Amino acid sequence: MRRLTTTLAALTALGLALGLTACEDDKPTSRGKENAARNSAYDNLVARQPAHTLTYSPTRDTKNFWIDTWGKTPNKLSYVYIQNANGSFGYFVLKGLPVTYCVSLLPPEQKASIDLGNAGTGDTFIQGPSMDGTYSSNTNCNSYYGKDATTGAYIEFSVGQNQSYFLYDQPLDLPQYKNAQPLGPSRIQDVKH
């Protein structure tokens, strides 16, 4: 009988402890309260101001124009005009579009299993290596490269720091570009048909 009483007392204590723990876990955390407030505010705003729908998308139309311009002709020429801080222009003539170092042929992340200690293992996403076997952190987004139109030479340039570029699919006869000097081997007159 004594053993049964001791066992019942232990089970009762365990039940109370689990019940108290469960009650403590039911209390919302500060983060949980703020998340609930944010979701409630969003739900109220959506109810009062639902998103409108489009009957026409100018963004999709422009994206399709980009696809039609650049995605249908291999080696289409691009004309890259560079303006420096003094307002002077130079230009490159490239085969295809200039590409930023932020662009990759592979996804920048890959799924990996990690050790979660006592919880076992889990999956996360980690940075994947580039095609050249190195890792980058998308820090060279203002550096561009491309292929010169007549020689095939590698061309690289950067923008920012008071230098801007303007890209066209044809040479333009605009006043600001009248005195633009070639910055690479190809000249506009070399590729005009």
Domain ranges of the chain: 2-48, 75-102+138-191
User: Is this prediction's pTM over 0.85?
Assistant: no
CA separation (Å) from 71 to 62, 67, 95? 13, 5, 13
Residue-averaged pLDDT of the chain:
84
pLDDT per residue as tens digits for the range 51-64: 999 999 999 999 99
pLDDT: which is higher, 13 or 28: 28
Query: Which residue in 102, 93, 111 sits closest to 139, CA to CA?
Result: 102
pLDDT score, position 4: 47
Q: Which of 138, 83, 76 is nearest to 107 (CA)?
A: 138
Count Cα atoms within 13 angstroms, Cβ side, for 87: 2
DSSP 25-41: HHSPPHHHHHHHHHHHH
| 153: pLDDT strictly greater than 90 | yes
